[in-house]
Chain A
Amino acid sequence: MSAWPDAVAVVALYGAVAAFVLGLGWRCVLWLRTPSRRRIALTPAPRGAAGVLGSLLLETLLFPTLWRASPWTWLFGWLFHVGLLLVLLQHLRYVSVDWWTWVAWLAAYGHLASAALLIGLAGLWARRVLIARMRWITRPADHAMLALIAAIALSGVAMKYALPVDVVAVKSFVRGVLTLQPQPMPRHGVLLAHLALGTALIALFPFGKLVHGAGLWLNPTRAQADDARERGARHRG
Chain B
Amino acid sequence: MAASRPHRAEPAEQEALGFPPRRVADWHARAIGRMGELVADNRALRVAMDACMHCGACTDKCHYFLGSGDPLNMPVARQELFRSVYRRHFTLAGRWLPWLVGAQDLDEAMLERWYSYFHQCSQCRRCAAFCPVGIDTSEVSMAAREIMAGIGMGQHYTEQVIAKVHATGNNLGLPEPALRDTLAGLEEDILEDTGVPVRLPLDEAGAEILLVTPSADFFAEPHVDGLIGYAKVLHQAGISWTLSTVAAEAANFGLFVGSQQHTRRIALRVREAAQALRVRRIVFGECGHAWRVAYNMLHDLAGPFDFLDPAYPVPQHIVEVTHDLLRRGAIRLDPAANSHRRVTFHDSCNVARASSMGGVPGGQFSLPRALLRAACQHVFEMAAGTTHAHTFCCGGGGGLLTDELLDLRVKGASPRVSAFAQLIEREQVTHLVAICAICKSQFAKVLPRYGLEFDQVLSLHQVVGDALVMDRA
Contact = CB atoms under 8 A, between A and B. Distances in A.
Contact of A221 (B53, B128, B390): B128
Contacts of B76: 137
Given A65-B130, A66-B57, A73-B57, A43 B352 contact: yes
Nearest to B129: A42
A43 B361 contact: yes
Contact of B296 (A38, A133, A134, A215): A38
Contacts of A66: 55, 57, 132
A207 B96 CA distance: 14
Contacts of B136: 40, 42, 221
Interface string B347-386: 0000011111000011011000000000000000000000
Interface of B: 39-44, 46-47, 50-61, 71, 74, 76-77, 80, 92-93, 99-102, 125, 128-136, 139, 295-297, 299-300, 303-304, 313-315, 352-356, 361-362, 364-365, 389-390
A53 B99 CA distance: 38
- Most B CB contacts (10 A, CB to CB) among A45, A46, A59 go to A45
A57 to B, nearest CB: 14
Contact of A40 (B50, B58, B59, B296): B296
Nearest to A66: B132
26 contacts: A31-B47, A34-B40, A37-B41, A38-B296, A40-B296, A42-B134, A43-B389, A65-B131, A73-B57, A127-B56, A133-B56, A136-B71, A137-B59, A137-B71, A141-B100, A209-B53, A211-B51, A215-B47, A215-B50, A218-B43, A219-B134, A220-B47, A221-B134, A230-B313, A234-B300, A236-B300
Interface of A: 27, 30-31, 34-47, 59, 63, 65-66, 68-70, 73, 77, 127, 131, 133-134, 136-142, 144, 207-209, 211-216, 218-222, 226, 228-230, 232-236
Given A36-B43, A44-B364, A73-B56, A233 B51 contact: no
Contact of B42 (A35, A44, A46, A232): A35
A220 B361 contact: no
A208 to B, nearest CB: 8
A137 B297 CA distance: 34
Given A43-B355, A144-B100, 11 more contacts: A44-B361, A44-B364, A69-B132, A73-B56, A139-B101, A213-B133, A216-B51, A218-B47, A229-B313, A229-B314, A234-B299
- Most A CB contacts (10 A, CB to CB) among B44, B54, B390 go to B44
Given A43-B352, A229-B314, A236-B300, A207 B93 contact: yes
B357 to A, nearest CB: 10
Contacts of B390: 68
Nearest to B360: A47
A149 to B, nearest CB: 13
B26 to A, nearest CB: 26
A219 B50 CA distance: 11
A6 B473 CA distance: 94
Contact of A137 (B54, B125, B303, B361): B54
Contact of B303 (A27, A44, A232): A232
Contacts of A219: 43-44, 47, 51, 133-135
Q: For chain A, what secondary structure do more than half of its interface residues adopt (helix, strand, loop), or is it mixed? A: helix
Given A34-B46, A69-B130, A219-B133, A140 B54 contact: no
Given A35-B43, A42-B129, A137 B51 contact: no
Q: What 9 A-B pairs are tightest by C-beta distance, nearest first?
A: A215-B51, A69-B57, A222-B134, A69-B130, A39-B296, A139-B102, A221-B134, A44-B361, A36-B43
- Most B CB contacts (10 A, CB to CB) among A63, A137, A142 go to A137
A69 B299 contact: no
A47 B361 contact: yes
Nearest to A215: B51
Contacts of B102: 139-141
Contacts of A212: 51-53, 132-133
Contacts of B303: 232-233, 236
Contacts of B135: 219, 221
- Most B CB contacts (10 A, CB to CB) among A31, A35, A44 go to A44
Contact of A211 (B50, B100, B134): B50
A235 B390 CA distance: 29
Contact of B354 (A43, A63, A214): A43
